[in-house]
Amino acid sequence: MGDVEIGAHSVVWPGATLRAESAKIKIGNYSTIFDGVVMFTKTEKSPINIGNYNIIDTGSFIFGTFMEDYVQIGENTVLYEGSSIGEGSIILKDSIIVSGMVVAERAIMKGNPASTIREQSRQDVIKQKERAEHYSDLFIRVHKKLPNLQPYALTKNDLMKLLMDHFQKDDEET
């Protein structure tokens, strides 16, 4: 709802909510926003900018955040207004990035409030790009093969099992 821009090959899974009521939400290329994610711009000064090759996992809440490329946000994480997430960072599940927090490039963060537990290598950041491309491709394959599938009604494990079974049967038939 509102001023939302979604880049090429990016995916917003069913059940995610993007509310750009007060400022813009911009999502770069090859980024995946999983089911149950909520993005909300509360004020004009709190746009949300999601870079390229980012993965935002199920149940996360994002309010007025700037996120560079190759970032992974874990399940049930909250990013408050004015936060900034550096390139190649990982925020582990159930963490909270407080208002105004600046996360350094390649930092791996955890906790409430989140703190750095280690830094990842440049090679690890490149793997993030591959994961993001994989999720984009997966959504396209799911949509083509199973257009009526509603992934938000399944757990991730159930969805992956269903997909593996479906594609295995498809390969056996060809």
Taken in order of first residue, the domains within the chain and their CATH numbers are 1-174 (2.160.10.10)
When the pLDDT of each residue in the chain is averaged and rounded to a whole number, the result is 85
Question: Rounded to 5 degrees, what are φ and ψ at 104?
Answer: -65, 155
User: Which pairs count as long-range contacts for 104-109, CB under 8 Å and 24+ apart, including other chains?
Assistant: 105/68
* 17, two tokens: 């909510």
**Percent of the chain clearing pLDDT 90 (strictly above):** 55
For residue 9, what are the CA distances in angstroms to 29, 36, 122? 6, 20, 23
In tens digits, the chain (174 residues) has pLDDT values of: 888 999 988 888 888 999 998 899 999 999 999 989 999 998 888 999 999 999 999 999 999 999 999 999 999 999 999 999 999 999 999 999 999 999 999 999 999 999 999 998 888 888 888 888 888 877 777 767 666 655 444 455 656 666 676 666 655 655
